[in-house]
Amino acid sequence: MKSKHLIVVSVDALVFEDLEYAKTLPMFGKILREGSMVERVKTIYPSLTHPVHASLLTGCPAGVTGIVSNTHFTPGNLESPWYNRLEEIRCETIFHAAKRAGLSTASCRWPVTANGGDCIDYLVPEVLPADMAGHEDNPIQAYINTGTSECLLDIVTEALKRYGHGNDHPAYDEFQIYCAAEIFRRFRPNLLFTHPGYVDHMRHNTGLFNERVNASIKETDRWISMLWNAAAETGLENDTDIIILSDHGQLGISRTVCPNVFLRDAGYIQADEQDHLVSWDAYALSCGLSAQVYLSHPEDSALYNSVRDSLEKMAAKKDWGTERVFTREEVKELYGLDGGFSFVLESDGVTSYSDEWAGPALRELDTSDYRFGHATHGHMPEKGPQPTMFAMGPSVRKGVIVPQGHILDHAATFAKILGIDFPQAQGKAAEFV
Ligand SMILES: [Zn+2]
């Protein structure tokens, strides 16, 4: 039976190993008992939140969506702007396909949906610190600027009053779940996407598996209950499918390395006496556990070959924490990752990358940024604990366990549940829908 409503909850950085605990909780337990699952889901490369969420919406890898990293390549700027506007995704999303089929769509803080009002009827975007800058005294303006639907401004105003406008977890998640539940209650969209990030946040701050991570899973269970209760209150419980999925795992790390310090020492980056970047011929953008190396003139074969030799030499020294140097062609072939970079560095799995070009090349742990911390991601999708996916509802058969799937399958699964055409999605729908 085709469902009339689909709720998709992306629990950032939830992994299969978490389900041993999660199944003891009321809502996760209910969905796992009454529904079906794909145990381990291979994600895209780089395994970063914004690229993966763009792929979830499109069924296409980063080389097609154009969302190749969390942040844009802006050499010399350590605060590179994030990819967050829906129009930055270079292909159609499930929202476009759903609208074309006459369905109503909603997204509450799903990455890369800002200003996506042309195909999202009920939109609360992610409002990043750069969006909030200058609007701290009137935060609703930042929500208006990033495309929050006019009909939701009273809900967002109330959420701002209750939970504040910061990016701190779990207040950030409470804000979002309050809004998502209100959107379902009031507008009953056919499609609702939302993205609590507390588990990911706790892993970055405290490591892969521990009591505090479990506490964040327990809170997330409560939030999913709130969403499900909103469906029940509207009497639509039996017409609603719910999918819980995740975007990537994480790996425990112990240090950070700065490939731009190496590139500067090798003469490819020039900086002044205050360490401001003056010019560059090769520059690495950190993706956490991988880094994308851009060349000023990628068509210059002498530059290309000399940078490649230098990076290979760097990787050969264990101190530089680099397991492999991929060419652009190799990552395109292996992972469908393609962009303006010429090389991709893959970490040794215990070392994360920084964008810094000044100061020491090797650094101790630092929890101030997602790229560092006790655990992080961005690595090759085969490594470490894997993301997972499970679902229940009228479109989902009960008790099917699929051992292995791919993140690009999810968009096809959404389309099949909604009964809409989405031929662009490269994966295939889960066999239990
Ligand atoms: Zn994530």
Q: How far apart are CA 262 and CA 343, in angstroms?
A: 15
Q: How far is the CA of 316 from the centre of ligand 1 (A)?
A: 30
**Most distant CA atoms of the chain, gap in Å:** 67
Q: Is-contact 358 274, C-beta < 8 A?
A: no
Is 284 in a helix, a strand, or coil?
strand
Ligand 1 centroid to Cα of residue 13, in Å, is: 5
- Predicted confidence at residue 1, as pLDDT, reads 42
Instruction: Give the Cα separation of 43 and 276 in Å (integer).
Output: 36
Q: How far is the CA of 194 from the centre of ligand 1 (A)?
A: 13
Amino acid at 290: S
| Residue linked to tokens 């929050």 | 148
Strands 290-295 and 277-280: unpaired
| Residue 3 pLDDT | 55
Q: How far is the CA of 191 from the centre of ligand 1 (A)?
A: 21
Alpha-carbon distance values, 151 to 86, 106, 189, 222, 249 (Å): 19, 12, 13, 26, 36
Task: Kindly give the distance from the C-alpha atom of residue 403 to the centroid of ligand 1, in angstroms, as a whole number.
Answer: 22
Instruction: Compute, in angstroms, the gap from residue 47 CA to the centroid of ligand 1.
Output: 8
* CATH placement of domain 5-250+383-418: 3.40.720.10
- DSSP line for 138-182: STHHHHHHTT--GGGHHHHHHHHHHH-S---TTHHHHHHHHHHHH
Tell me the CA–centroid distance for residue 305 and ligand 1, in Å: 34
Cα(432) to ligand 1 centroid in Å equals 25
Whole-number Å distance between alpha carbons of 400 and 272: 61
Ligand 1 centroid from CA 111, angstroms = 10
Contacts of 427 (CB under 8 A, 6+ apart): 59, 405, 406, 407, 408, 409, 410, 411, 412
Q: Whose CA is closest to 251, among 334, 373, 135?
A: 373
Reading the chain (433 residues) residue by residue, the pLDDT tens digits are: 455 899 999 999 999 999 999 999 999 999 999 999 999 999 999 999 999 999 999 999 999 999 999 999 999 999 999 999 999 999 999 999 999 999 999 999 999 999 999 999 999 999 999 999 999 999 999 999 999 999 999 999 999 999 998 888 999 999 999 999 999 999 999 999 999 999 999 999 999 999 999 999 999 999 999 999 999 999 999 999 999 999 999 999 999 999 999 999 999 999 999 999 999 999 999 999 999 999 999 999 999 999 999 999 999 998 899 999 999 999 999 999 999 999 999 999 999 999 999 999 988 776 665 555 788 999 999 999 999 999 999 999 999 999 999 999 999 999 999 999 999 999 999 999 9
* Helix residue ranges per DSSP H, 188-246: 198-206, 211-233
67: left (phi over 0), alpha (psi -120 to 50) or beta: beta
Domain ranges of the chain: 5-250+383-418, 254-364
Which H or E run includes 95? Answer: helix 94-100
pLDDT, position 366: 63
Give the separation between CA 160 and CA 174, rounded to whole angstroms.
10
- At 417 the three-state DSSP class reads helix
pTM of the model: 0.96
